Structure 1
């Protein structure tokens, strides 16, 4: 029987600290959710003559498989069936394989051809909900390929490999989605300088970079909210985090009084939410959620980013109307919003869902999830 390895990685939601978290050392809070991406790695099936590939990737999001060959340490497409759009969609899978294979080579482990099958529960019939699918697919691929190669890595090493993989594509994103997908549950996260770690891997190698200190980087598990229920609503409109964050024009904004004030206020909000989670202080956590919403609204007003769509405003207002607190999750501009409601009155959730549906918002049956809830096949 052919050996295969499957790993699952959950999606994520941002609870606090969006936008600020892209700055190294600025804190954020994220929560992993009970929808996952899976990666199954094994040996490729026999291919027609002349069509052999070093890596074959299939996905339930793509109409056809993608066949790749190694060339000078990078994976390149094979044959006329290699669809450029599909290749771009799989950029995170490809980068995850490349970085993990470099670690394999540095450790002197044998190479072999791979078949990687990706499955996603973070989409519905191709619809994107904004639950961190690119981060989850990167983490799942890193973990599955490493395990298949005989490298069972601790969580910190898996996260660092995943961050190297994504930062090679774009050093802008914070990596918070990767942290949530790696550790699960509620976490506090501070990002490293992504450009610096990519340069370290280039100069010193992956193994040494995994072991070296990463200034400003920190991850800490947090308790789940006590006495509160998380509700998630989808606006029906996908959003591009990269496009929204790039709208900040960081070169112009970074270092300004407005920028420094936003970072300080965001850090204070995250610290307040962290203390509330650690002490089980429901009122303080609801207050921190409301502050996080206000900070995003103020940033939106100052920079004109389009964070708050009419749907996201309605999502937040309807949650407040039934006694909860709500905010966009992530960059805004569409995707999801989240709400916290006191759990001693479950009828409030039903009332909120009904009000959301009237406003054109889709309630999603999503719950926080610990990594122990992910059914890895070992």
Structure 2
């Protein structure tokens, strides 16, 4: 089995490589001191953020909400400080504009995972009402993101403490993977999502620090992504996403569901595309007819589009255009507020017409998504 980066599509096109510089050996010593009980284990990815950098983790948020390093002594909002972190003074916190909700995306560098490897982290999550905010952890398995952890149960108005947790990465043999951490934070002043002390480790007795052990040196790592092509050759495809050229335009349909609009949006943007924007009646009919056709092989269920509430109306975030042509189900939209998105729905008698629904939230059935170029 070969495990691949979650947002890579398996094309025969050249890879685009971006280099990330990691901190020097002093950071390895700092983090080792923060986790003395792990000194005899094989450490794969780790950070306590005390150096002021995220390496070897990378913020890949597509929207306004982002993972930023916050210092306990100087919080982003002095009226809503975090509780004292378990060690040091710095940690990652979802930072977003006032009165705005969103989901921040953090990914590890690509690394080799072995059976028995696990992720440890500290976290603080608070929301009012209960169970609105969430932290979800995914690992990439054969190009498909699989969720291994959800922390929504800790999201309460009265949570003022950090907790620690570990979760097994369910690899059955050695393979390449990345870990993705999604932090959804609602728009209230008291809403908060934060993480610290990230460690991916195994019980191997050989220490393999991911950083240079020379105080004057540094290590360069690369992260490669394959952009979606401008057109879709007939042989283009993968196990998780299939791309088709329809009416001269490339559309890519997922065969797996995601339980957050932000995950689909991040996937598309990471591959040089956007979620689907249906701006004409011709395009509405084109996509609806394709999904409905038996030859497509697609599940006639529900698909995320790029539609999202923009303050005064729904807009296509893929093109930053307001809705003109529409295909709403009768009575829709009925949740015109921040944090709501638009799906194509094929349940009951919807027949591909649109409905609005909360963009991310525990308890909601996952949906497929569609990217376009």
Q: What TM-score, normalized by structure 1, do the two folds share?
A: 0.25
Choose between structure 1 and 2: higher strand proportion. Answer: 2
